[in-house]
């Protein structure tokens, strides 16, 4: 079945440590996105990529980095510069990134600080 | 500025009751899309509906219905005869056509609890 796979489901970060969240899709979608969800808040866009080897900052990119070396993969690294990383992270994709398309979401990664 | 407001943080109903989730949006654009997503406890957001700003028709799909009113910038969602399986967080979202990306502006979400 086609879909978006995020791993791990739960992740713990120590102070000063970088951690990487995995996002893989087999939907053959060009566009991929990372959103952050905090309790009682909506989703906020961290980074997005509309094509391989290209990505743009979203609304809250500070303290995060991404890469898009393959169409199916869009990993997110939470760096030590992100002082409040505890949140639920959702990866999404869409066929071409055009304005009318709906997003398809993964099941998320819960990141917590030890 | 674009904004989506879901004023209801949490709603609790008893099974078989009807429930309406409110969504109010702000945008300067004349052309845009509105979405509703459902987030069950598993975490994944599930797409429910998409409407464009040109189409103010109300829509019904089974127990779900949506009331889009451009005059009041609202896109409300009603569940008729609610069921326990409807318990989830529901998000309203806006996508402006002035943006050439798939970026969505989300509301804060409404947590719906349906008790048996």
Model confidence over B14-36: pLDDT tens digits?
Answer: 999 999 999 999 998 888 999 99
Q: What is the pLDDT of residue A91?
A: 97
pLDDT digits (tens, 9 = 90+) for A56-110: 999 999 999 999 999 999 999 999 989 899 999 999 999 886 767 889 999 999 9
Q: What is the pLDDT of residue A99?
A: 66
Expressed in percent and rounded to 5, the helix, strand and coil fractions of chain B are 5, 55, 40
Contact residues on chain A for B101, CB-CB shorter than 8 A: 31, 48, 50, 56, 97, 99
Q: What are phi and psi of B70, to 5 degrees?
A: -65, -35
Q: What is the pLDDT of residue B2?
A: 87
Sheet hosting strand A4-7, strand order edge to edge: A4-7, A19-25, A76-78, A64-66
Going by C-alpha positions, the residue among B93, B39, B22 that lies closest to residue A44 is: B93
Contact residues on chain B for A33, CB-CB shorter than 8 A: 102-103
Going by C-alpha positions, the residue among A94, A80, A73 that lies closest to residue A18 is: A80
Contact residues on chain B for A105, CB-CB shorter than 8 A: 37, 44-46
Q: What is the pLDDT of residue A79?
A: 94
Q: What is the pLDDT of residue A96?
A: 81
Q: What are phi and psi of A26, to 5 degrees?
A: -120, 30
Q: Is B107 on the interface with A (CB under 8 A)?
A: yes
Two tokens, residue A62 = 């500070």
Q: Is B85 helix (H, G, I), strand (E, B) or coil?
A: helix
Nearest CA distance, B94 vs chain A (angstrom): 11
Q: Verify whether the Cβ–Cβ distance A31 to B43 is below 8 Å.
A: no
């Amino acid at each position: 079945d086609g879909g978006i796979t995020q791993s791990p489901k739960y992740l713990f970060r120590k102070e000063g440590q970088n951690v990487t969240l995995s996002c893989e899709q087999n939907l053959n979608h060009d566009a991929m996105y990372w959103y952050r969800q905090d309790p009682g808040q909506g989703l906020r866009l961290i980074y997005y990529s509309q094509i391989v080897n290209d990505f743009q900052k979203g609304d809250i990119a500070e303290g995060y980095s991404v890469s898009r070396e393959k169409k199916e993969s869009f990993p997110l690294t939470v760096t030590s510069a992100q002082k409040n990383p505890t949140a639920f992270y959702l990866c999404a994709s869409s066929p071409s990134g055009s304005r009318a398309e709906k997003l398809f979401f993964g099941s998320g990664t819960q990141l917590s600080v030890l | 500025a674009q904004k989506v407001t879901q004023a209801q943080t949490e709603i609790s109903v008893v099974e078989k009751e009807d429930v309406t989730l409110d969504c109010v949006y702000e945008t300067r654009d004349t052309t845009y899309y509105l979405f509703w997503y459902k987030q069950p406890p598993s975490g994944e957001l599930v797409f429910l509906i998409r409407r464009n700003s040109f189409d103010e028709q109300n829509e019904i799909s089974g127990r779900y219905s949506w009331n889009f009113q451009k005059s009041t910038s609202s896109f409300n969602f009603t569940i008729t005869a609610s069921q326990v399986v409807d318990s989830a967080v529901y998000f309203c979202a806006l996508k402006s056509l002035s943006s050439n990306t798939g970026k969505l502006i989300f509301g804060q979400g409404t947590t719906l609890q349906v008790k048996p």
